[in-house]
Amino acid sequence: MAGTTICHRAPLSLSLLRRRSYVRHPSLLPVYSQLSTDTASKGKEFEGRVGFLGIGIMGCPMALNLIKAGYDVTIWNRTKSKCDNLINLGAKYEPTPEQVASSCDVTFAMIADPASAAAVATGENGAIQGLGSGKGYVDVSTVDGATSKLICESVQKTGASFLEAPVSGSKKPAEDGQLIFLTAGDVALYERVASLLDIMGKSRFYLGDVGNGAAMKLVVNMIMGSMMASFSEGLLLAEKVGLDPNVLVEVVSQGAISAPMYSLKGPAMVKATYPTAFPLKHQQKDLRLALGLAESVSQPIPIAAAANELYKVAKSQGLSDQDFSAVIEALKAKLQN
């Protein structure tokens, strides 16, 4: 079983990966996970210039960690002023994604939504214009599978390699280098950038064909969005019947349903403050994409569908740029009405 080929483009080198889990997928591809703390099986140190497209809530700390690790990093963002701090810390800047990709050996992209991710990669002055044989493009954005496959095909036509690698984690994990990478695509590129992923994250999964990484991320964020909606209901119900919602947070955090998200977000939610780590508009976007994914395979997800409607209400209240925990405000409005 260890000799099974994961990707038609290249065999997996088990010297660079310790197989921690093996899961049967309908495509019969094995799934590998790697903890970044497993020093004995870390990837070979990356050599070359690294590009990073998208210096926002997530992209900025991710690129910063690469700079701190001593890598030669070139960056781009639609709003150049967001790059100023990283430039002051040693990053180079190029005015277009094309020029970043042209000047770098591997280019990462962390873009807000599928349409923007496709435009940055394949649009005017897009990254593919600067790609070619020997280069790699790693899309760490959260997009649907169709968009990821479209970008992959465009990248491969240039002779470059493609890896989708959406991340599980928000602003603080990005700052702390504790993200989880859900990768799929060119396994040789996966191995090539493994040391970079280990700097930005605490673990990485290789999931086989392009589209699997995107699907896994959408399922994870679907669960997260539904959990937050239910948690919001619980906080408000507890308060309504005379219980202290702070005590509820403590009780939940010590029980079988404990999740870091509850203890991290709960106290601020009780105070009606929502410092943005993961924008509400992005959570709603991911729920919408998850609903489309479910529809494509005729899988009912009624709980996620109901949660999506709640996030849409929150967006209509002007909460798009607040943290996704601000969804509780949509429930408060419903109670008042």
Q: Give me the active site residues, please.
A: 217
| Per-residue tokens: 243 | 């219980």
The single-letter DSSP state of residue 76 is: E
Environment class of 254 (CB within 10 Å of its CB; exposed 0-12, middle 13-18, buried 19+): exposed
DSSP bridge partners of 93: 75
Going by the DSSP 8-state scheme, the letter that residue 71 receives in this structure is -
User: What crossing angle do the helices spanning 280-296 and 302-316 adopt, rounded to 10°?
Assistant: 150
**Structure tokens that stand for 227 in this block:** 């959990």
Tell me the C-alpha distance between 117 and 58, whole Å: 14
Tokens coding 291 = 């609903």
d(C-alpha 330, C-alpha 326), whole Å: 8
Spatial distance between the Cα atoms of 110 and 185, rounded to a whole number of angstroms: 17
Residue 56 one-letter amino acid: G
Residue 271, C-beta contacts closer than 8 angstroms, at least 6 positions apart: none
**Residues 6 or more apart from 133 whose CB is under 8 A from it?**
158, 159, 160
The length of the chain in residues reads 337
**Residues 11/42/55/288 CA torsion (nearest 10 deg):** 60
Centre a 10 Å sphere on the Cβ of residue 255 and count the other Cβ atoms it contains: 9
Nearest 10 degrees: Cα torsion 308, 309, 310, 313:
120
Between the alpha carbon of residue 57 and those of residues 160, 282, 293, 334, the distances in Å are 28, 12, 26, 30
